[in-house]
Amino acid sequence: MLKLNKSSKDLKPKIYMKTPYKNIYSVLKLNRFIVLAVVIGAVLTCIVSVLMVIKLHNETVNNAFVVNTDGSVIPLKMVKQQENLEVEILSHLELFHTYFYHIDASNYEKHLEKALWLGNSSVDALYRQKKADGVYNRLLQYSLVQKVLKIESKIDVQHEPYRFETTTVFEINRGTVTDTYELMTTGNLIKVDRNFPKNTHGLLITNFFESTLRKIETQ
C-alpha cells in the first residue's frame, strides 16, 4: 500500500480569484466623453485659428510697412482710407468750385487755368461754352465781381467713380447792384496721379454739369 508523502496543506484545493469585468455602459460612457472632448477641442482650435487669421488680416490692412535702411520692417499705422478719401474729395470740390466761380476781371484767367487742371474735358467744354457766350467778356466790360459765399457737397465714396452733387452760393457785384445765386452742379470723380501744385489731391472731375441755377431773392 502506497503512502502519500504530501502534507495535508498541499491537499487543500487552490481557489483562483476571477477578474471582475467592467460594466459595458460605463465603458461606452467613458468613450463617448473622450470623443466629445476631442471634437469640442478640435472645434475650439478651429475657431481660435479663424479668429487669429481675421485679426492678422485686419492688422495687415490697417497698417503699412516700410523697409528700414538696415533691412528691418517698420509698421506704420494708416488713417482709415474711407475717411481720408472723403476729406480729399470735399477739399478737391471746394477748391475747384472756388477757382471756377470766384472770379473777377483781375484773376479770372489765373483761376480758370487752375480749375481746368482739376477736371477733364467736360470742364473744359463748359469753360469754352461760357467763353463763346461772352460770360468772361462781360466780366471785363462791366468790371463784375463774382464772389463765392458757400460751397456744400454731397458725395458717395462707396464705388469709383465717386458721385457728387455740389451747391454753390455766389454773388455778382455789378457796382450798385448785388445779386445772389444758388448753383447746383453734378459729376463724378476718379483717382489720378497727384501733381503738385496743380492737382494735389490726385482726383479728376468728370461728367461735370451745371444742373440748376436760381436767383436768391433778398428781403
Nearest to 215 by CA among 157, 172, 162: 172
SS (H, E, C) the chain: CCCCCCCCCCCCCCCCCCCCCCCHHHHHHHHHHHHHHHHHHHHHHHHHHHHHHHHHHHHHHCEEEEECCCCCEEEEECCCHHHHHHHHHHHHHHHHHHHHHCEECCCHHHHHHHHHCCECHHHHHHHHHHHHCCHHHHHHHCCCEEEEEEEEEEEECCCCCEEEEEEEEEEEECCCCEEEEEEEEEEEEEECCCECCCECCCEEEEEEEEEEEEEECCC
CB 82 within 8 A of CB 113: no
Measured between alpha carbons, how far is 99 from 123 in angstroms, rounded to an integer?
A: 12
- For the cut 50, the answer to whether the pLDDT of residue 78 exceeds it is no
Is residue 76 scored above 80 in pLDDT?
A: no
* The predicted structure's pLDDT at residue 69: 56
Inter-helix orientation angle 121-132/108-116, to 10°: 150
In this prediction, residue 15 carries a pLDDT of: 55
Q: Could you identify the residue written with the cell 441755377?
A: 213
Question: Which grid cell sits at 105?
Answer: 476781371
- The count of residues in the chain is 219
**Tell me: the pLDDT tens digits for 14-28?**
555 555 555 676 767
Percent of the chain with pLDDT over 70: 77
Q: How confident is the model over 109-142, as pLDDT tens digits?
A: 999 999 999 999 999 999 999 999 999 999 999 9
pLDDT, tens digit, for every residue of 58-68? 766 555 555 55
* Cell numbers given for 90: 470735399
Q: How far apart are CA 187 and CA 100, in angstroms?
A: 15
